[in-house]
Structures are given as structure tokens and as C-alpha cells.
């Protein structure tokens, strides 16, 4: 049985006069969630863009479904900061391993 699965991606941005979105909206580094969240609440005019997929994906095989959704999401995803820009500012980039 094919069950339609909808998907969406989220991208964040901030005006040039504010802390960059990758620092203010994304939780990373050694900060506790509470300290990050309290700083985030002080930001003004932050923007979150949600991009919904154009149509649901249907597939009987869960692994194939996951691959199709990953492909669709990757093609519409807008990173908060590009890897090269992050490395330029922070000297290294270590993606999370799950």
C-alpha cells in the first residue's frame, strides 16, 4: 500500500545588522540549549522560510521512499551558511554524525 508522504525544508536568515542566522537560530557548538534559546529570543526580524514539496511522494519500499524524499529535499534545501564560508570564519567544519 502506497501512503503519500509530504516533505518540506526550512531555511533561516537574518538582516545584515543582526547576528548571522547560523549563529543565532541554529543550535550548535558548546552552548547549552537554554543559553542558546534565551539569546535567540533577543533577536529581532529573523526569517524562517519553509519550502513545501510540490507533491507527496508515494512508494511501497521504505528505503526507496527515503531515498526519493532525501533527493527532493536536497534539491530544494537552502543552507543557512555554506561550508566554505563557515570554515573561513571558524577554521574547521565537523558535521554531526548520527
pLDDT of the chain along its 98 residues, tens only? 688 999 999 999 988 888 888 888 888 778 889 998 998 888 888 889 999 999 999 999 999 999 999 999 999 999 888 888 888 888 776 665 55
Full-model pTM: 0.70
HSE toward the beta carbon, residue 86, CA cutoff 13 A = 14
Separation CA 67–CA 55 (nearest Å):
16
**Strand (E) positions, 29-98?**
47-52
Separation CA 93–CA 70 (nearest Å):
22
User: What radius of gyration, in Å, describes the C-alpha atoms of the chain?
Assistant: 17
Contact between residue 14 and residue 20 where contact means Cβ atoms under 8 Å apart: yes
Res 97: pLDDT: 57
Amino acid at each position: 500500500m502506497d501512503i503519500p508522504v509530504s516533505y518540506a525544508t526550512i531555511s533561516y536568515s537574518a538582516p545584515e545588522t543582526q547576528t548571522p542566522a547560523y549563529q543565532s537560530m541554529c543550535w550548535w557548538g558548546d552552548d547549552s540549549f537554554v543559553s542558546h534559546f534565551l539569546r535567540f529570543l533577543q533577536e529581532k526580524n529573523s526569517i524562517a522560510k519553509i519550502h513545501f514539496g510540490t507533491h507527496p511522494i508515494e512508494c511501497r519500499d521504505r528505503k526507496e521512499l527515503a531515498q526519493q524524499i532525501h533527493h527532493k529535499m536536497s534539491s530544494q534545501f537552502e543552507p543557512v551558511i555554506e561550508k566554505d564560508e563557515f570554515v573561513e570564519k571558524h577554521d574547521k567544519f565537523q558535521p554531526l554524525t548520527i
